[in-house]
Copies of this chain bind each other. A is one copy, B any other.
Amino acid sequence: MIISLDMSSDTPIYVQLRNQIVKGIGKGELKAGESLPSVRQMAQDAGINSMTVNKTYQILKAEGFIEIDRRKGATVCPVRQGEGAFREKLEAELELLSAEACLKGMHKDEFLRICEEMFKTMHPAESEG
Mark A94-118 against chain B: 1 for CB-CB distance below 8 A, else 0: 1111111111111110011011101
Contact assessment for B95 and A118 in the assembled complex, using a CB-CB cutoff below 8 Å = yes
How often does this chain occur in the complex, in copies? 4
A116 and B116 CA atoms in complex are apart in Å by 11
Q: Knowing A97-B90, A97-B93, A100-B86, say if A12 contacts B70 (CB, 8 Å).
A: yes
A49 and B106 CA atoms in complex are apart in Å by 34
Q: Is A3 among interface residues, defined by CB-CB distance under 8 A?
A: no
14 additional A-B pairs beyond A26-B103, A82-B106, beta carbons within 8 Å, are: A7-B70, A8-B69, A22-B103, A23-B95, A82-B104, A83-B104, A86-B104, A91-B114, A93-B97, A101-B119, A103-B125, A107-B124, A108-B120, A115-B115
Q: Which residues of A contact B (CB under 8 A)?
A: 7-8, 12-13, 19, 22-23, 25-27, 65, 67-72, 79-83, 86-87, 90-91, 93-108, 111-112, 114-116, 118-126
**What 8 A-B pairs come out closest when comparing CB atoms?**
A26-B99, A82-B104, A102-B122, A94-B118, A115-B115, A98-B119, A8-B67, A23-B99
